[in-house]
Amino acid sequence: MALPESYLQYPRRGPGMDHDFYAWSPLPNRKPIRWPQGARIALWVNLTVEHFPLDAVNKPFLPPGGLERAYPDLWNYTLHDYGNRVGVYRLYRMLEGLGLKATVAMNAAIADRYPFLVQDTARRGHEIMACGVDMNRLHHSGLAIERERESIGTSVETLRRASGQKVRGWMSPAKAESFNTLGLLREHGIDYVCDWPNDDLPYPLTGPAAGLHAMPHASELSDLWCLHQWHHTTDEFAQQIGDQFRLLHAEAAKSGGRVMSLTLHPWIAGQPHRIRPIREALAAILRHAGVWNATGAEILDAFKAQPG
């Protein structure tokens, strides 16, 4: 059976992107970035603090790390709860011992269930970033726009009230979006989004997302993928952290500043046997000159302040 002629017709065929959310912009063609104090690397440490409801329906897909056993999946539920009860404070102590601050992505459900955790995170000087309502409220194109608008508003405003911060950043649960997500984030005063892992620097979004910037939030260099999904050892993960830094540091010496993002989940990286290798990898980074530890909002402000 022959294919109809319409099968080969595609209105976006040609150079460039097949959407209107950002312009094609190869990194080598851009003007070099200069970070504060002449730093080569903006070191952006990210923690992700999530709530996976026990009655999750996992629609339209199972989020990475989600509850996958038959109801009630108490084993997975309590594993995640360990991160919010124990692991997150272990990571905070590690970071504070190194003199580092982080951006902490949180579901709004964390503020409802553990308001002290939100307040304590802000008190410690970490930035809070919105991460949806919970890990059962996924954003996707089958979601009605009013329902998605309500979810984003609930997440952002709940965390703003609980933390006292402006909450300028957003990461969607499971990094899933609909075609409406970015425009709705602008409606709620969000400045940067972490769902697009396609660069080593921030870049402006366009079209319905104009005014937002995409931030290079680590997907590859994440304990969720390296340790939980790919089953690497923590020593291998620590080596990957060092390898990532050394290459970016060398590139930055020739081509301008880079962002190095590291993503940690308290229920994974906050386990006792994993702290030492991660701490040692971060300590090794800090022994190099030209490292600027910053939050997502600070990196975005420095990027937007670049001349020209």
93-149 pLDDT, tens digit per residue, is: 999 999 999 999 999 999 999 999 999 999 999 999 999 999 999 999 999 999 999
Average pLDDT of span 256-279: 98
For the entire predicted model, the pTM comes to 0.94
Confidence of residue 1 (pLDDT cuts 50, 70, 90): low
Average pLDDT of span 228-234: 96
User: Residue 263 half-sphere exposure, CB side, CA atoms within 13 Å?
Assistant: 21
**pLDDT mean across residues, the chain:** 95
Give the pLDDT confidence of 292-307 residue by residue, as tens digits: 999 999 999 999 999 8
Output the pLDDT for position 6: 78
Assess if residue 15 is contained within a domain. no
Assess if residue 163 is contained within a domain. yes
Confidence of residue 8 (pLDDT cuts 50, 70, 90): confident
Q: Are 109 and 137 in contact (CB under 8 A)?
A: no
Assess if residue 26 is contained within a domain. no
Q: Find where tokens 């919010």 sit.
A: 84
Assess if residue 139 is contained within a domain. yes
Confidence check: pLDDT of 14 > 80: no
Assess if residue 50 is contained within a domain. yes
Confidence check: pLDDT of 255 > 70: yes
Provide the CATH number for the domain around residue 51.
Answer: 3.20.20.370
Assess if residue 22 is contained within a domain. no
Assess if residue 5 is contained within a domain. no
Confidence check: pLDDT of 17 > 80: no
The contacts of residue 2 (CB under 8 Å, 6+ apart) are: none
Output the pLDDT for position 306: 95
Report d(CA 214, CA 134) in Å as an integer: 22
Give the pLDDT confidence of 216-229 residue by residue, as tens digits: 998 899 999 999 99
Assess if residue 215 is contained within a domain. yes
Query: Residues of the chain with pLDDT > 70: what percent?
Result: 98
Of 134, 132, 11, 34, which Cα lies nearest the Cα of 80?
Answer: 134
Output the pLDDT for position 91: 98
β partners of residue 49: 106
Range of the domain at 161: 36-304
Report d(CA 295, CA 34) in Å as an integer: 16
How many structural domains are present in the chain?
A: 1
Confidence check: pLDDT of 208 > 90: no
Give the pLDDT confidence of 141-199 residue by residue, as tens digits: 999 999 999 999 999 999 999 999 999 999 999 999 999 999 999 999 999 999 999 99
Integer CA distances (angstroms), 267 to 48, 87, 102, 264, in order: 9, 6, 17, 9
3-state DSSP assignment of residue 299: helix
Of 255, 248, 283, 256, which Cα lies nearest the Cα of 95?
Answer: 283
Output the pLDDT for position 5: 80
Phi, psi of 305 (to 5 degrees): -85, 0
